[in-house]
Amino acid sequence: MGVLEGKKGLILGIANDKSIAWGVTKSCHREGAELGFNYLGDALEKRVRPLAESVGSTLVEPLDVSDDAQLDDFFAKVEAKWGKLDFLVHSIAYADKNALKEPFSQTSRQAFQQALDISAYSFIACAQRAAPLMAEGSAMLTMSYLGSVRAVPNYNVMGVAKAALEASTRYLAYDLGTQGIRVNAISAGPIRTLAASGIGDFRTLMSKAARGSMLKRNVTQEEVGNAACYLLSDWASGVTGEVHYVDGGFSGGVGDPGEV
Ligand code: 0WE
């Protein structure tokens, strides 16, 4: 008997089989959940639909989280099909490519607004539409990164967006706590995904993350997925407003002080 048996959940943000959202999907499916998905545009539908079908899903709908009308349509379809929702996973971020390499002090208003809108506000937008479908004991989860609390070279405006996302997690947890809905974030170590492929010298960042971690290795999509299952399950019934690190211990250490 899986820890998510009998639960219905949405997983937002699969791009392909390397996505963190796909790691979360595999764990949630193994633990018995019935799952629904979104895709961004026709190009990604071709990738997401076969993955969704492989875990027995029949809820796969378009959703660009920067568009309120699409958000309304998406959650209306979820309500029509399921009537209720037990969990929501938000695994969505975007910043302009140039904003992730130019000096942070050069960040444009447009790049700031877009990064914060898609990477942070979208969690609030989803939460406010998901909550009315949720009963006591339901849960929401989003994905963050250490760049929210430390200045990580080149992470730039994404770090500011993740800081807003983590603060939003706490305020949503406060707000929805009165309805018995829990809201948490996972802060994962760097993982090679489609989003990471657009980043210069990600290889060096990955090897520094491994060497500086306590486990001396990087974490996987599957490990994030397993931690996600716990936070979404009734085993975490007393846990909310939390940022849970799944980074092999990197954030708690200083690496090797003797390293040159
Ligand atoms: O949150 C992320 C990645 C988010 C991301 C990645 C891209 C690349 C392609 C958001 N927007 C875009 N836009 C693009 O055009 N991570 C935690 C992975 C990541 O990204 C970095 C990192 C790490 C770690 C960027 C710079 C430095 C470190």
Residue type, 77: K
pLDDT at 76 over 80: yes
Q: Is pLDDT at 69 greater than 80 in this prediction?
A: yes
The pLDDT score that the predictor gives to residue 180 is: 98
Q: Of 55-69, 123-137, 188-202, where does mean pLDDT reach its minimum?
A: 188-202
Protein residue whose Cα sits closest to atom 15 of ligand 1: 97
* Residue 259 pLDDT greater than 80, yes or no: no
Catalytic, out of 155, 171, 174, 230:
155
Catalytic (active site) residue 145: yes
Question: Is the pLDDT score of 260 beyond 90?
Answer: no
State the average pLDDT for the chain: 97
Q: What is the pTM of this model?
A: 0.98
Q: What pLDDT is recorded for position 135?
A: 98
Question: HSE on the CB side for 19, CA within 13 Å?
Answer: 25
| Residue bearing the CA closest to ligand 1, atom 27 | 155
- Reported as a pLDDT band with limits 50, 70 and 90, residue 115 is very high
Residue with tokens 């909550």: 131
Residue 198 has a pLDDT of 80
Q: What is the 3-state secondary structure (H, E, C) of 20-84?
A: HHHHHHHHHHHCCCEEEEEECHHHHHHHHHHHHHHCCCCEEEECCCCCHHHHHHHHHHHHHHHCC
Residue in 39, 94, 145, 230 annotated catalytic: 145
Task: Report the pLDDT value the prediction gives residue 199, as an integer from 0 to 100.
Answer: 87
Query: Is 245 annotated in the active site?
Result: no
Task: Check pLDDT > 80 for residue 258.
Answer: no
Q: What is the pLDDT of residue 257?
A: 83
Confidence of residue 193 (pLDDT cuts 50, 70, 90): very high
Mutate to test the pocket of ligand 1, among 18, 90, 97, 100 (most ligand atoms within 8 A of CB): 100
Predicted confidence band of residue 109 (pLDDT cuts 50, 70, 90): very high
Within 6 Å (CB) of ligand 1, which residues are found?
93-95, 97, 100, 145, 152, 154-155, 158, 190, 195-196, 198-199, 205
Please report which confidence band the pLDDT of residue 255 belongs to, taking 50, 70 and 90 as the band edges: confident
* pLDDT value at residue 200: 82
Express each pLDDT in 241-253 by its tens digit.
Answer: 999 999 999 999 9
Question: For 145-169, how does the pLDDT look when each residue is reduced to its tens digit (9 = 90+)?
Answer: 999 999 999 999 999 999 999 999 9
Q: Which of 143, 155, 193 to mutate for ligand 1's pocket (most ligand atoms within 8 Å of CB)?
A: 155
Contact by Cβ (8 Å): 37, 114: no
DSSP string, 84-123: -EEEEEE------GGGGTS-GGG--HHHHHHHHIIIIIHH
What pLDDT shows up at residue 247? 98
Q: Which atom from ligand 1 is nearest to the alpha carbon of 156?
A: 26
